[in-house]
Amino acid sequence: MKIAAEPVMKRTRPAVTTERQGTEKTETRHTEIPLCCDDGTFTLETYEPKGDGMAVIAVDNQKGGVGKTTLTFNLAKGFAARGQRILAIDNDPQANLTRAFLAHPKELRANILTIYENEHSHLEPQQVGENLYLIGSDLHLARVAERDFEVIYQLREGLEVIKNHYDMVLIDCLPSFGFLNMAALNAANYVFIPTTPSPFALFGLKDLFDAIAKIQKRMNPELRVLGIVLNLVEGRATTIARELEEALRETDGAVVVESIIHKSMKLAESPAWHQSILEYEPKSKMATEFHRLMDEINERITA
């Protein structure tokens, strides 16, 4: 959906600190990591990622309308609130993830075009919250998809500049099998797949798995499927939705996460206020579902 103008929204809500349920709050080290040098480039302060190193996760599905951007936004905000240093990357010319973080497109200071134009030394992720950084995009990214095959390698090369300075990188992918999508899969070590319990969405998973297999074989043997999550699930499941979920779990049971994200108006509207569901409605069923999903993702990464 194209939006002609960005409305200025003002809403005051109480500040909320989101923590992993059942754990004691711990103090986390927080520093401003972009440090500009005399030559205009920048360096990063030493940071030791938690766990086994930086996890680069492409949130991907070539099918549109499965909630990739909303899921990426909420996961980025949620993991950052838990004390993990997170980098969110908008690899979609529609720039909806960028809009979710920033009140106005003119606020964007870290554009992914910097990577695709081979200006890696000037890449400076923009801080958008505590433990949270953004590399955003705009409509000009669309022209990158029309370039040659070299595009596929540029995102991976760009991320080498900031390798191991974050605990997790979340890449919001566009609904396409083009060069930009392949670039994200080539740069990632995990792919996380949101889907809906609908026939067209599930039929498209085979094509996505075929594309992942080709990337694994030809470019990125480290790429692994982190999981499939049923997203935007209706509160009252229809018979066909239940049957499709059962079929998916029977076919790809080990890959499908136990967590389910239900469809919710609060979840849909919260990015308009630049808040995750954990901030917007912290005691809601949706917030609990995202806590469970984040637990499951962390468990799979550290397994």
Q: Which tens digits make up the pLDDT trace of 98-149? A: 999 998 888 999 999 999 988 766 778 999 999 999 999 999 999 987 787 8
Give me the mean pLDDT over the 23-28 stretch: 40
Q: Which tens digits make up the pLDDT trace of 2-12? A: 333 333 343 44
CATH number assigned to the domain comprising residue 59? 3.40.50.300
Residues 6+ apart with CB under 8 A from 292: 258, 259
Q: Is residue 16 part of a domain?
A: no
User: Quick check: 244 and 256 in contact, CB under 8 A?
Assistant: no
The domain total for the chain is 1
Residue 149: phi and psi, rounded to 5, are -60, -20
The answer on pLDDT for 173 being more than 50 is: yes
Q: Is residue 17 part of a domain?
A: no
Kind and range of the H or E run holding 135:
strand 132-135
Q: Is residue 47 part of a domain?
A: no
pLDDT at residue 51 in the model: 54
In whole angstroms, give the CA distance from residue 113 to residue 69: 19
Nearest-5° Cα angle at 223, 217 to 183: 85
In whole angstroms, give the CA distance from residue 106 to residue 275: 19
Which tops the pLDDT comparison, 97 or 48?
97
Q: Which tens digits make up the pLDDT trace of 74-112? A: 999 999 999 999 999 999 999 999 999 998 888 999 999
pLDDT at residue 201 in the model: 78
Give me the mean pLDDT over the 37-58 stretch: 58
Which tops the pLDDT comparison, 53 or 188?
188
Average pLDDT, rounded, for the chain: 83
Q: Is residue 36 part of a domain?
A: no
In whole angstroms, give the CA distance from residue 292 to residue 300: 12
User: Quick check: 249 and 241 in contact, CB under 8 A?
Assistant: no
pLDDT at residue 93 in the model: 95
pTM of the model: 0.82
In whole angstroms, give the CA distance from residue 144 to residue 134: 19
User: What confidence category does residue 20 fall into, taking pLDDT thresholds of 50, 70 and 90?
Assistant: very low
pLDDT at residue 187 in the model: 96
The sign of the dihedral angle between the CA atoms of 274, 276, 279, 280 is positive
* Closest alpha carbon to 285 in 257, 272, 266: 266
The answer on pLDDT for 297 being more than 60 is: yes
What SS3 state is found at 56? strand
DSSP string, 178-241: SHHHHHHHHH-SEEEEEE-SSHHHHHHHHHHHHHHHHHHHHT-TT-EEEEEEEEEE-SS--HHH
pLDDT at residue 52 in the model: 61
293 φψ region: left (φ > 0), alpha (ψ -120 to 50), beta (else)? alpha
In whole angstroms, give the CA distance from residue 209 to residue 213: 6
Q: Is residue 42 part of a domain?
A: no
Q: Is residue 107 part of a domain?
A: yes
Q: Is residue 6 part of a domain?
A: no
Q: Which tens digits make up the pLDDT trace of 246-256? A: 888 887 778 99
Domain that holds residue 180: 53-302
How much of the chain, in percent, has pLDDT values that exceed 90? 59
How far apart, in Å, are the Cα atoms of 104 and each of 95, 208, 267, 291? 11, 33, 21, 29
Q: Is residue 231 part of a domain?
A: yes
The answer on pLDDT for 64 being more than 80 is: yes
Token readout for 294 is: 């984040």
What SS3 state is found at 65? coil
Residues 6+ apart with CB under 8 A from 101: 73, 88, 128, 134, 136, 274
User: What confidence category does residue 24 fall into, taking pLDDT thresholds of 50, 70 and 90?
Assistant: very low
In whole angstroms, give the CA distance from residue 126 to residue 37: 16
Taking each helix axis as running N to C, give the angle between helix 199-218 and helix 179-187, from 0 to 180 degrees, rounded to the nearest 10: 60
